[in-house]
Structure 1
């Protein structure tokens, strides 16, 4: 055993989940925290807003690639080494973002920051799968989901506060310091959760074989699509809602922030409710409920808009229903996917994270694809994603078969 693998054999569950929650939150912060500084970044580099927006795309691509690749690799090499390396390199690349001399260097640094930040998300879920099973795993995953859902709400606010005292570069210095704190926390409080005897041998070939084996499971592909299309609906809502509430309904940026925060609270509250119900209600039942609430909310919204009823309160209520449904869908699908792929949790977690960010990034620009973002264009795209999620649930996942349920739950 090497020094880097040595750690206290046991650690408090609460402390472990706090650290894993921090690892899950730091990437959403990296995505959104610098958004208020976009105009300043464009001026600083003497470039266009579109070029700056590409840095966001680069980070999302990095997060998808990092999770798809690093999750399966952790099945072969263990979790702790990669968590330490990911936290350290996230710190390095955050600093590189802070001192980047050109937009090209900045975009590359954002890509690498996304890849290394993805380690905390994907391996954190795998650590939960290593240490917990059944309802206990579902509750811990729900906690990580709540933390991950809260981070995007707080990130722009904190980013705005940082920009109030310094330039946009200070945002990335703050992210680097956060990475350094997480590196210390992982070193002190996250022991290796995957013993050598449970690791996959065979290198890259075994990793690819594990992923291929999982993708041959119809139900797993179904649950991945349920999750990915649900995230697609959420990203389409996030990208379209500023235009809907500010340009269509005339809200100020501050008022829109309150609307967005309220809807995000719906996701968090639904996640807390999921944590309370996990172990008493079947995971598949909670997943079906989440998908149904999301789809029904958008069916109502599209019907109202088609009937000429386009008001701020009705649109807000329907989108609040969407976020509440997502708050049940995400932790339920995550727990089931990791349970179905429990023989290769790193690979399952990697594909889970990859499907989220790939489908989310694909759906995000669709509300404005025809040239202008309206309430109807946003609602139709979000509804389409929600219906695709429901279709995958019924045709591929088939929740009535009880896949992914703890023993005795089905």
Structure 2
């Protein structure tokens, strides 16, 4: 008997659905930097430079951007479930290719394609929530996905450090392949199609991407996209530079470095929890402004301290904790607002959101080491620069005082 790929149980519990979508939102961030504690080992394994290894992170981010920009709008025309299954399957395959890559060139190419495949889970997961929920209910479910997605990059090095204690960096990608396989089975069993045929966009790819172009003509949406993207740029610059800062400059072991990231994850989770409790009672734009302000102030203090010659492990860690805490507000607030502003084309809006995140993240990731040596100051300056651009975009384009994307009365 043949089973259609679009078949799925007619009813799926919301909790189970969000758990699966959360896993899909987390696996790509894990893929981005779960291997970060192994950067020094990878440099030796391939006999290459630190910058070349950091570029493998950029390759994955570019892939995630491409995947979301293309797959998000496609899901508005083709439906969600089919593309989720395909993305999960290909993520598993390319994770295995990363694990056995014989050269840095093959590894970088596999990372690019792994990112493209992983983009499906992130972009379609958000679109599924937009299909099924509205108002504050949507904000709370998106907050759950955002907290998972923003915590994953911070927790990933912890998991990677534990794996490196028992094996080589290649074992990290074997673990990612197994995770991809589990998610493929979960999607097949528990994620029904959320976009029926009568609600899909017609007119082919031209109409799909025309919808994306229409969204980009909205000044406020472009502003929020820049806030989101530059926020991710700050986070990924921190993630790509911090292994060298904490291990080479402050002398931490891979395990010690992982524990620093775990502590920083507490800030992200706590801020996301606060956001979830306040959504519906406090304006989303106010929460977003607070998140941006915390990131800017934290990094401005760090750059100031480093300029004065105060470069200690506790002060650097404390300021970066402020970064991850601010990001815990910035990400869910901007995600919810962007999808609300672009609610007439949720797949396209989700694709633009993911594209902005990972294009700017890809651009920022190698910058801490672009001058040949990754230092605490080079990392802090790049992260602060991204945060300042986010703040300018918030004020000049998004204009949060105008209340874009706030839930309408009665949607609580």
TM-score by length of 1: 0.91
Would the aligned equivalents of 1:33 and 1:157 in 2 still touch at CA under 8 Å? yes
The aligned counterpart of 1:355 is 356
Displacement of 1:187 after TM fit? 1.1
Report 1:336-375 matches (<5 A): 336-375=337-376
- The 3 A distance-change label for structure 1 pair 190 and 377 is same
Deviations 1:115-135 (A, max 9, x none): 111100110011111111111
In the alignment, the residues of structure 1 paired with residue 47 and residue 298 of structure 2 have an alpha-carbon distance, to the nearest angstrom, of 43
Cα distance change, pair 6–231 in 1 and its aligned pair in 2 (3 A): same
For 2:77 and 2:248, the matched residues in 1 are separated by 50
Q: Distance in 2 between matches of 1:101 and 1:256?
A: 27
- Secondary structure of the corresponding residue to residue 5 of structure 1: coil
Q: Match for residue 272 of structure 2?
A: 271
Residues 97/376 of structure 1: CA separation in 2 closer, same or farther (3 Å cut): closer
* Distance change >3 Å, CA 106–CA 406, structure 1 → 2: same
Number of residue equivalences: 409
What is the Cα deviation at residue 196 of structure 1? 1.3
**Residues 266 and 327 in structure 1, CA contact (< 8 A), matched pair in contact too:** yes
3-state SS of paired residue (1:407):
coil
Indicate the residue corresponding to 1:228 in structure 2: 229
Aligned to 2:127: 126
Partner of 1:110: 111
Structure 1 unaligned spans of 5+:
none
Cα distance in 1 for partners of 2:45, 2:377 equals 36
1:287 alignment partner in structure 2:
288
Distance (whole Å) between structure 1 residues aligned to residue 174 and residue 369 of structure 2: 33
The aligned residue for residue 99 of structure 2 is 98
Relative to 1, partners in 2 of residues 1:156 and 1:306: Cα closer, same or farther, differing over 3 Å?
Answer: closer
Kept in 1, the 8 Å contact 2:162–2:255? The answer is no
Deviates more, 1:261-270 or 1:122-131: 261-270
- Match of residue 195 from structure 1: 196
Q: How many angstroms apart in 2 are the aligned matches of 1:163 and 1:375?
A: 24
Alignment deviations for residues 167-191 of structure 1 (CA, whole Å, 9 cap, x no partner):
5444333222211211111111111
Report the aligned-residue RMSD.
2.4
* TM-score, length of structure 2 as denominator length: 0.91
Q: Is the 8 A contact 1:282 1:409 kept in 2?
A: no
User: Which SS does the other structure have where 1:3 is aligned?
Assistant: coil
SS at match of 2:194: coil
